[in-house]
Structure 1
Amino acid sequence: MMTTIKNIAYTLLLAGIIPVAGGCNKFVDINTDPNNPTTAELSLLLPSTEVSMAANMYQLNSGTSTFMQHMVSSAALSRYQQAGNSFDDSWNGFYSQTLNDLETIIKTGTEEEQWGYVAIAKLEKAYLVSLMVDMWGDIPYSETQQGQENVSPAFEKGAEIYPKLLVMIDEAIADAGKVTANSLVPSTSDMIYGGLKTSWISMANSLKLKLHNQLRLVDPAASAAAIKALIADPSTLIGGTSNSNGADYTFKFGPNQNPNNRHPWHRSEYQGSKNFYMCQALIDLLFDNDDPRLRYYVIRQNATAGLNNSTNSNGYYGRNPGDGTAAPADLNRRSTFGIYPAGGLYDNAPINNLPVTNLFLTNTGATGTLKVVTVTDGTGAGIIPYITNAMVKFIRAEAALTLNTGDDARQAFRDGITAHLASVSAYASSNGGAIIPPASISSFADALLAKYDAADNAGKLALVMTQKYIADYGNGMEAYNDYRRTALPVLRTPLSPLNTFPLRLYYSETELTANTSLGGNTSQLQIAQQTTPVFWDK
């Protein structure tokens, strides 16, 4: 059901996101400037790693988004049934492309004192490796990227890798400090921040905040101390002191169709065939809670279609988690990805059966008409939100409630809500959709704040994690992490699960077959992934 990562990575690169085939040494060698080989290679390799990380994340993001009931990319995964190829494209691509090129940048950049490149590559590597630990638990780390010298790198415990990554982040901050200019690298060499040093520093500190919060069940005192130090100067975090979304760590796809560099979800669904369903659980969560983001997350193709291809509903036709029945003939009726984050269409058509008490999800100004989506609809210039201002604020609220960090959990909760709605609104207004009026954003946050004030501590945490879950849409990995750590929000019970909720992802079958360091227990190792918590999931 998923387009191969190799094709996605190739077309992203070919279509002009960057003018180089990421990870292809032959291409880099041919195009090396003999008068300045290191600078030329690094300037090509850095953006190629940013592209390959996003491209290789497709399978991982779609699968974890399915576990977390944001969407349904696979009936098997929706029923919690993994296989050896469920996430192999992501695993193989991260190791063979992204991490190999990052290691080249770090090694060559250090030798040549190109500290800006080294700093960014270390931060990208720390983010990616931490994510891989979060997803798979124990992974090859110290012995990787050694070529033919070691084709079977040993697996290391995630608990041993995390501290090394925190050291790497501090090293990257120090490396960035060696660059006196405001830009770490030329703007054309960095697709994320255009080389801006302050933005990368805020990403570094926000990544530390995220990791220490994920460690809070392992050593609460250490996590609390580290988080207190980070929030002592909030200007160094994404969002700063002004609750700005300008330094969000996101990957931005392009609008081209031929060759195609659009968001993978747009590529998959804005065509005659369809691979995915929207998850009915998320649709109902937004609909039942008067959440205006529903019009941005989901586009209906038919005004009266409903669950199980009924004809007397409101057009929000998704699929319940764990539904193992065959898909009916519904390609022109099921709902699909809206304008955010995949770059599709904004739903501005009237919705029947809206509660008359709704204040935010209403039919005011809804004058559009629905249609069957095609490749020419929307821009496709979607995003993957890695670490955003909204996420940072919700992390701070969670830490304040659970670790007594002294932060203002109530204000952080409100700031997270307003930051995310403002981000969705700004993205939509730039891609053919409607803004969410600032007054509506403020009123929506106030309504949630009233619920927060009335709740006990457990209820406050549930509200925080539910809002973060909604804001994580487009990044299933972050929602998957949060759920395993907090068991929040409460997910809809799958209709016919085939297994228990997966606590880790299955390894690539290619890795288990080829890596001789694992010995002969690979079958049991794979099966154990389903029920073995990652080290920080206590």
Structure 2
Amino acid sequence: MKFKHIIYTCGLAGLISVAGGCNKFVDINTDPNNPTTADLALLLPSTEVSMAANMYQLNSGTGTFMQHTVSSAALSRYQQAGTSFDDSWNGFYSQTLNDLETVIKSGTEEEQWGYVAIAKMEKAYLVSLMVDMWGDIPYTESQKGQENVSPAFDKGAAIYESVLTLIDEGIADAGKVSAGTLIPATSDMIYNGAKSAWISMAKSLKLKLYNQIRLVDPARATTQIKALIADPSTLIGGTSNSNSLDYTFRFGAGQNPNNRHPWHRSEYGGGKNFYMCQSLIDLLFNADDPRLRYYVIRQNGTAGLNNSNNSNGYYGRNPGDGTASPADQSRRSTFGIYPAGGLYDNAPINNLPGTNQFLTNDGAIGSLKVVGVTDGSGAGIMPYITNAMVKFIRAEAALTLNTGDDARQNFRDGITASLASISTYASANGGAALSPALINSFADNLVNQYDAADAAGKLNLVMTQKYIANYGNGMEAYNDYRRTGLPVLRTLLSPLNTFPLRLYYSETELTANTSLGGNASQLQTAQQTTPVFWDK
């Protein structure tokens, strides 16, 4: 259960095509008539495409650690290898970061400050995420081409400082553009060039990073978060709890070239490579959570764990299960309509508790089928920073840092933002909308639990709801768990190692980078048990 993909950019909008094979990238900066000049209008959207495409392996692997899904039996048992995340590592460095540096350098020389601003913000997001995943990484000496083919590894804490400076630089560069649009809409696949949207993304990223360091520098985190929430209108979500400014990559629905969500391409084709994680299925089912019908689609109405025949069709795999997969590809559950662009499960569930209020069979008149390539649109999303995430961050910070924010209201807003986002997406892609009344009642029910909980219970509720809302972004769930230990994960059936505190480096990097000397193997082994700098 391991996948690699070929990524091509094509067309003015930077369409993507991904298929099985080795990871390659055709850089649209390559102009046979003028190879030294970067076309910023084409190069910037290609960085947005390559970042999303190269995140596939990283997202699926961390999602497996966090029991969102099962992409690999080995990773489900906490066993990493030098190839576990090498596609993401190599692609980020050779494609995304390399092209972002070109945009920043050429844009600065040409005084194209809108391009520079967006590239700096995108780079800040990606580099901070790489620190979160791997800890120490090449940074100050990287992206120098043949000048330095073996860049030294910088400490994660120092890189975070550089990233925070880079965000401020990006905001300042955006301020040099008087118009409300930083660049033409066709050159930005995320926000269509909207200046206010990118500034909201940048400030929300700062909020995320300062909350991330709260364990190691609580005073600074508190001060900076208070400053950011003093004007919540400048953050994603604003004061109206709107999802319109979510920092999200949207895949396409095309098949030739194939630019669909990678999970859809993997599971709605000829075979099945993933399992849905049984612990997430059970969490949603037992919590009467309506998101289950959106996250997971059943292919069989009675299939159950271990390919049994007397369950309700929610057949996944327990974390840490090392047994061989049976012949079950037409029976196991798979990715639903959100976020992969698959099918919405509108078939009756045969053993729902009669006390359920939200996950019910009301209006469930559909039937189940073995999913195929023509099912669903595939036009899924990759959620990087969303309104729901921002609200849960604010709730966490209020509970742990006493920022003066309203933890209870942010908790509720995060829940409604999550359900509203899923509902809006599903209704536009062949699924069913969740009524505002249901969303509000569901949120009220959880707020009642919040009110009855002690301080530890309140934080557990916040982090559990964030964990559920983060489905589709395993990296953020992985960050949250290492920082808080929440939610409590299911005990593995047959672990091969301890829970990984960092990801393994690309074996290509460790083999080729001479700056590591003879310490490469020890460095790799230490990744499993060495916390990142903000984790203690």
TM-score (norm 2): 0.97
Correspondence 1:403 to 2:401: yes
Report what 1:513 is aligned to: 511
Match of 2:31, SS state, is helix
- After superposition, the C-alpha distances for 1:17-44 in whole angstroms (9 at most, x for unaligned) are 516999645763237699xx55xx1001
- After superposition, the C-alpha distances for 1:286-340 in whole angstroms (9 at most, x for unaligned) are 0000000000000000000000000000000000000000000000000000000
- After superposition, the C-alpha distances for 1:498-522 in whole angstroms (9 at most, x for unaligned) are 0000000000000000000001011
Superposed displacement of residue 226, structure 1: 0.1
Match of 1:57, SS state, is helix
| Gap regions ≥5 residues in structure 2 | 18-23
Q: Distance in 1 between matches of 2:28 and 2:493?
A: 50
Match of 1:28, SS state, is coil
Report what 2:51 is aligned to: 53
Distance 1:230 1:430, change over 3 A: same
Report what 2:248 is aligned to: 250
Report what 1:467 is aligned to: 465
Q: Aligned residues: percent identity?
A: 80
Alpha carbon RMSD of aligned pairs, Å? 1.5
Q: Say whether the 8 Å CA contact 1:15–1:258 is kept in structure 2.
A: no
Match of 1:250, SS state, is strand
Report what 1:174 is aligned to: 172
Q: Distance in 1 between matches of 2:98 and 2:528?
A: 28
Superposed displacement of residue 410, structure 1: 0.2
Match of 1:392, SS state, is helix
Q: Say whether the 8 Å CA contact 2:267–2:334 is kept in structure 1.
A: yes
Q: Say whether the 8 Å CA contact 2:314–2:332 is kept in structure 1.
A: yes
- After superposition, the C-alpha distances for 1:39-94 in whole angstroms (9 at most, x for unaligned) are xx100110000000000000000000000000000000000000000000000000
Correspondence 1:325 to 2:326: no
Q: Distance in 1 between matches of 2:209 and 2:181?
A: 26
Counting only pairs closer than 5 Å after superposition, residues 15-164 of structure 1 correspond to structure 2 as 18=14, 24=26, 28-30=30-32, 41-164=39-162
Distance 1:16 1:500, change over 3 A: farther
Q: Distance in 1 between matches of 2:35 and 2:218?
A: 51
Match of 1:316, SS state, is coil
Report what 1:2 is aligned to: 2
Match of 1:386, SS state, is strand
- After superposition, the C-alpha distances for 1:109-151 in whole angstroms (9 at most, x for unaligned) are 1111100000000000000000000000000000001111100
The runs of at least 4 consecutive aligned structure 1 residues that moved more than 2 Å come to: 13-17, 19-28, 30-34
The AA in structure 2 aligned to 1:126 is A
Q: Distance in 2 between matches of 1:462 and 1:16?
A: 46
Report what 2:353 is aligned to: 355
Superposed displacement of residue 259, structure 1: 1.7
Correspondence 1:335 to 2:337: no
Counting only pairs closer than 5 Å after superposition, residues 291-306 of structure 1 correspond to structure 2 as 291-306=289-304
Of 392, 395, 417 in structure 2, the residue corresponding to residue 394 of structure 1 is 392
Of 193, 196, 207 in structure 1, the residue corresponding to residue 194 of structure 2 is 196
Match of 1:179, SS state, is coil
- After superposition, the C-alpha distances for 1:326-360 in whole angstroms (9 at most, x for unaligned) are 00000000000000000000000000110000000
Superposed displacement of residue 383, structure 1: 0.4
Q: How many residues are aligned here? A: 530
Q: Distance in 2 between matches of 1:491 and 1:26?
A: 43
Distance 1:275 1:20, change over 3 A: closer
The AA in structure 1 aligned to 2:513 is N
Report what 1:383 is aligned to: 381
Q: Say whether the 8 Å CA contact 2:16–2:257 is kept in structure 1.
A: no
Correspondence 1:423 to 2:421: yes
Distance 1:20 1:526, change over 3 A: closer
Distance 1:473 1:26, change over 3 A: closer
TM-score (norm 1): 0.97
Q: Distance in 2 between matches of 1:407 and 1:178?
A: 32
Superposed displacement of residue 14, structure 1: 3.9
- After superposition, the C-alpha distances for 1:194-237 in whole angstroms (9 at most, x for unaligned) are 00000000000000000000000011010000000000000000
- After superposition, the C-alpha distances for 1:360-402 in whole angstroms (9 at most, x for unaligned) are 0000000000000000000000001000000000000000000
Report what 1:272 is aligned to: 270
Distance 1:121 1:27, change over 3 A: closer
Report what 2:20 is aligned to: none
The AA in structure 1 aligned to 2:209 is L
- After superposition, the C-alpha distances for 1:450-487 in whole angstroms (9 at most, x for unaligned) are 00000001000000000000000000000000000000
Report what 1:286 is aligned to: 284
Distance 1:504 1:271, change over 3 A: same
| Gap regions ≥5 residues in structure 1 | none
Distance 1:323 1:20, change over 3 A: closer
The AA in structure 2 aligned to 1:522 is A
Q: Say whether the 8 Å CA contact 1:23–1:48 is kept in structure 2.
A: no
Q: Distance in 2 between matches of 1:156 and 1:263?
A: 33
Q: Distance in 1 between matches of 2:183 and 2:32?
A: 22
